[in-house]
Structure 1
Amino acid sequence: MASFSPFPAIFAPSTSFRRASFPTRPALHLKNRFSISCSYAGAGVSDDSRSATIDVVADIRSERVVVLGGSGFVGSAICKAAVSKGIEVISVSRSGRPTYPNAWVDQVTWISGDVFYVNWDEVLVGATAVVSTLGGVGSEEQMRRINGEANVVAVNAAKDYGIPKFILISVHDYNFPSFVLSSGYFTGKRKAESEVLSKYPNSGVVLRPAFIYGKRRVDGFEIPLDLVGEPLERILRATENFTKPLSSLPASDVLLAPPVSVDDVAFAVINAIKDDDIFGIFTIDQIKEAAEKARV
């Protein structure tokens, strides 16, 4: 199921916590450990019983990530970033495999399906994390279903299968008044957030970006949202010290919240996948910081 959001992704104050242990299925092996014993003798030193034995224990972590809505604008960026970091990726979306001929596309396992009817046995077994980009607009009922119920189904499936981490792409609230936030779009998103943080209190991650820009493909055409988003982000960040007094005004963030690069969102997800010690809600600035950490 492709993901799309008409609103810039905006994030509520996010807090970084130290992660406690979380339940995993006995059959799910996140790390392969092996022990190597070897003897070392320096040059000119005989290898005898006095030679020290060095015991080495190494942790090799093999990540296998399921991206819901992986063929969409944000989802495909996450898949691409994950592949670049050597992460095994499975995408589940209605449209299945994208049609554009990028090399990284061949390295993703594409599954065509609806989150409400997908066979989770074929998707979640062996996964180390689930990333959901599910969301959309429509009637009130449709928005509650796709933004809220679909994500709730995914969170509970992941929990049942013992997947240790769930990452949700949500949306910034833009300081909208309550009557706007009561719409199906936002109530659905917040319901999904609540489910993630409830079922994954020590390992769930919620990203709340504002307007996400990048090169977006729609019906075979590429829309260069970065031509507007990138300079606007630079301007707003350069003037944020002057505009902060306005941030308390209703809906002020519609104009003042810096747009977020789709690549920053993708690499913030990579950071969340790889760092077991972070969880909670990530704001726009924290998404930027997390992305930089993943790129290093």
Structure 2
Amino acid sequence: MNVFFKDIPCGVMSVLEPRTLHLANKALKFLRSTSNYDMRRISSCAFTQASHPGSDTRADKKGSAESLPGITVVVLGGRGFVGSQICKAALESGMKVVSISRSGTAPLTQEPWARDVEWARGNVLEPQTYLGHLQGASAVISCVGGFGNQAEMLKVNGTANVVAVETAKAVGVPRYVFVSATIPKIPGLGMILGGYINGKTMAEEAVRKHFPDSGVCLRPGVVYGDRIISNSLTLPLGYVFQPVERLLLRVPQTWVNLPLIGGLFVPPISAAALARAAVAAASDASVSPGIMDVPMLQKYK
């Protein structure tokens, strides 16, 4: 088996289709060609990093990120619903922001902040298309993910993110943030969303392996906000999910672990709050590596 997949859980490989393997192998060959980079290189905006053996969670933290001018953050999937909010939040924190997407264009928003982002074109599965933007970057935030058939979900949520993590590590990016998801414990969910779930697991394991002291995986539930559909149509999802969020924040957290129905009690979170959490994870040295779950994300409201 190719070393690229040596740490992927058993059962995941059986879902991979030949084209997915082909794309991953191409990416691996490219990464090997970059082995001359100094893996110990840290940018001038270095972060204080501390290891927490045996811990997969982060310490409690107030929801605010310091303004750190001079930091460059690369947002993979920065044109999307969550990604665009992360770009906005990073700019508000004084960072330089580069967004990588397949189109390389700005989102439909008419807000003035979009003019200050560098909108670059790249394919996450093809590192040579965005490698130059990662060199010298202080952090990468990945919002890459999506739905489809099982193989497509595994590729976009898993393989693509593993390639991105490997690439960032190869060029010496100091810090990595991955927007993952809370997976409710619903029997049979794996039959429907197995590719999605296994893909997120692959990506989280890659972050944990390659950025053990500076990698953060965010696990939100439902994310709401103003979703722009076209220049004339915006869906204000907050009208529906904000009251639900307030209600569910009042129920005991232990209800989330109830069998069968626990997933119904995971509070939604606004895209803006999730974005602030991602920016803090990418820039604040006091944010510990590991998993940032829903209660921790709520501190960034």
Given the two structures, how large is their TM-score scaled by the length of structure 1? 0.75
Match of 2:270 in 1: 261
Q: Is the CA contact 1:69–1:132 (under 8 Å) kept in the aligned structure 2?
A: yes
Alpha-carbon separation, structure 2, partners of 1:231 and 1:111? 37
Query: 1:177 — aligned with what?
Result: 187
| d(CA) in 1 for partners of 2:255, 2:111 | 45
Q: Tell whether 2:266 aligns with 1:250.
A: no
Question: Is it true that 1:121 corresponds to 2:131 in the alignment?
Answer: yes
User: Which runs of structure 2 are paired with 1:1-296 in the superposition (5 Å)?
Assistant: 24-25=40-41, 28-30=43-45, 62-96=70-104, 97-117=106-126, 118-177=128-187, 180=190, 183-220=194-231, 221-238=233-250, 240-241=251-252, 244-245=254-255, 247-253=257-263, 255-277=264-286, 278-289=288-299, 291=300
Q: Where is the strand percentage greater, Structure 1 or Structure 2?
A: 1
- Aligned equivalents of 2:139 and 2:258: distance in 1? 36
CA–CA separation in structure 2 for the residues paired with 1:128 and 1:178:
40
Partner-residue secondary structure (3-state), 2:249: helix
The alpha-carbon distance between structure 1 residues 245 and 156, as it changes in their structure 2 partners (threshold 3 A), is closer
Q: Is the 1:120–1:157 Cα contact (8 Å) retained in structure 2?
A: no
Stretches of 4+ moved more than 6 A in 1? none
* Alpha-carbon spacing, 1:104–1:24, altered in 2? closer, same or farther (3 Å): farther
Q: Is 2:180–2:200's contact at 8 Å kept on the other side of the alignment?
A: yes
The question of whether the paired residues in 2 share the 8 Å contact of 1:177 and 1:251 is answered with no
Give the Å deviation of 1:178. Answer: 6.2
Residue pair 2:135, 2:171 contacting (<8 A) in 1 also = yes
Counterpart-to-counterpart distance in 2, 1:86 and 1:61: 5
Deviation of residue 199 (structure 1)?
Answer: 0.6
The offset of 1:217, in angstroms, is 1.3
Q: Which residue of 1 aligns with 2:57?
A: none
Structure 2 counterpart SS, 1:183: helix
Deviation per CA, 1:239-276: give whole Å up to 9, x if none: x13x84573212421x2110011111000012112222
AA aligned to 2:195 is: G
SS at match of 1:288: helix
* Number of residue pairs the alignment of both structures matches: 237
* 1:128-180 Cα deviation digits (max 9, x unpaired): 00000000000111000000000001000000010011100001011223652
**Aligned-pair Cα RMSD in Å:** 2.0
Shift of 1:218: 2.1
- Counterpart CA distance in 2 for 1:124 and 1:244 is 40
CA contact (8 A) 1:207 1:281 kept: yes
CA 1:209/1:137 → structure 2, altered by over 3 Å: closer, same or farther? Answer: same
| Aligned-partner Cα distance in 2 for 1:256–1:67 | 30
CA distance in 2, matches of 1:135, 1:257: 20
State how far apart, in whole Å, the 1-side matches of 2:173 and 2:260 are.
39
More helix by share: 2
Partner amino acid, structure 1, of 2:285: D
Q: Separation in 2 of the partners of 1:145 and 1:230? A: 32
Q: 1:246 to 1:144 in 2, by over 3 A?
A: closer
1:92 to partner: Cα distance:
0.3
Structure 2: gaps of 5 or more residues: 1-38, 47-67
Cα deviations by residue, 1:30-58 (Å, 9 ceiling, x for unpaired): 26xxxxxxxxxxxxxxxxxxxxxxxxxxx
1:24–1:163 contact (8 Å) kept in structure 2: no
Pair 246,111 (structure 1): closer, same or farther in 2 beyond 3 Å: closer
Unaligned residue ranges in structure 1 (runs of 5+)? 1-22, 32-59
Task: Pick the structure with greater CA Rg.
Answer: 1
Amino acid paired to 2:219 = R
TM-score by length of 2: 0.74
